[in-house]
Amino acid sequence: MTGHGGNIYAASRTTGIPEDRILDFSASINPLGVPETVSEVIRKNIRNLPNYPEPFAEQLSAHLGKHLLIDPQSIICGNGSTELIYLVVRALTPRKVLIPAPTFTEYERACKTRRETSLFQYDLSPENSFDIHLDTFIAAMHGCDMTFLCNPNNPTGRLLTREQVIKIAQAAQQSQCYLILDEAFIDFVPEHSMVSEVEKYSHLIVLRSLTKFYALSGLRIGYGVFPAALVERLRSHKEPWTINTLAQRGGMAAIDNKAYEKETFEVITQGKLFLEKGLDELKIQYVPSYANYYLLRLANAREVVVSLRNKGILVRDCSNFPGLDGSYIRVAVKSPEHNALLLKELSGLCRG
């Protein structure tokens, strides 16, 4: 069991509600759905399915390099960015790893695949909106040879600015500690991305995802940007053919779709304003978010999760995140009508 959101299949089996009638707020996916340009490319490339895909997604890497204005040789694509989380642990063999809490749970799971790896937890405080304090975090990195940062953080939605991350990257460089920066949701605040800084730091690795912003979770497309000195080491540990043909072609079409990008910012901005207003009116505590989801605190969170699930509405139970107790849930920003439905259901269920 992974304990993540987005499993409409299990929800359908347990509730008897058909998959296409389940409303999923547990996975933070663009409510616009798959870009039409991606759908067109997939239809066109179905005829190529008898052929193997490119072993290491070379064309997709080249396309990403042009899009990001970086050397495509620094890019390694993966079956979602999660594959690359496990790859960096396997290839770089860290002994001591610092992980904030709460954050994405796959960092810990990946590190636990190595018995030689010790984990150290940096606790984030709800009294401080779960923000990282730069000086104490940098001090906590001392003696570690790897640290993970999710920016914006999942599940809190909190953001470290580009300037703040640069300070952490500089400190990581000085202490020879690999900084694994997960930017799975950075497309919602692109001005704070660090991909252009990787070439300056020998210990900075940036992981990115195409699945959240472009609603391509089922295709599984992610990539990492690595310092030149590490690329061959990482590639020597990576299996070929992990990104299928449709994912490679779809990824290229997605990042070219500027109209979809523009519409996404409009929809998410309006959706967040609507949800924040509604949550304030319901007096539900939430953490101000820079991403397309909110972490809510409810006195009866477990009751809410179960009641909504029985109605075919999934929200993320956050009780399995280290650093959170059973009073937290995470909800995605979806379409206007779905956001309104969620608030209506919460109004009859929640005790803040």
Three-state SS at 216: coil
Neighbours of 95 (CB within 10 A): 12
Tokens of 330: 């995470």
| Helical spans, DSSP H, in the chain | 8-15, 36-45, 58-68, 81-92, 106-111, 134-140, 162-175, 228-235, 245-255, 258-281, 301-310, 336-347
* CA distances in angstroms from 134 to 100, 122, 169, 179, listed in the order given: 12, 12, 11, 14
Mean pLDDT of the chain: 95
Contact 316, 331 (CB under 8 A): yes
User: pTM to 2 decimals?
Assistant: 0.95
Contact 217, 29 (CB under 8 A): yes
Quickly state the pLDDT bin for 1 (edges 50, 70, 90). very low
Percent of the chain having pLDDT more than 70?
98
Three-state SS at 285: strand
- How high is the pLDDT of residue 18? 86
- Is the pLDDT at 152 greater than 60, yes or no? yes
* CA distances in angstroms from 325 to 12, 116, 179, listed in the order given: 26, 29, 27
- Is the pLDDT at 2 greater than 60, yes or no? no
Task: From 92, 41, 60, select the one nearest 230 (Cα to Cα).
Answer: 92
- How high is the pLDDT of residue 210? 96
Three-state SS at 224: strand
**pLDDT average, residue stretch 293-300:** 96
* CA distances in angstroms from 192 to 165, 188, 208, listed in the order given: 9, 10, 13
Domains and CATH numbers, the chain: 8-35+258-347 (3.90.1150.10), 50-255 (3.40.640.10)
Q: Greater confidence, 20 or 74? A: 74
Residue 289 CA to residue 153 CA, distance in Å, equals 9
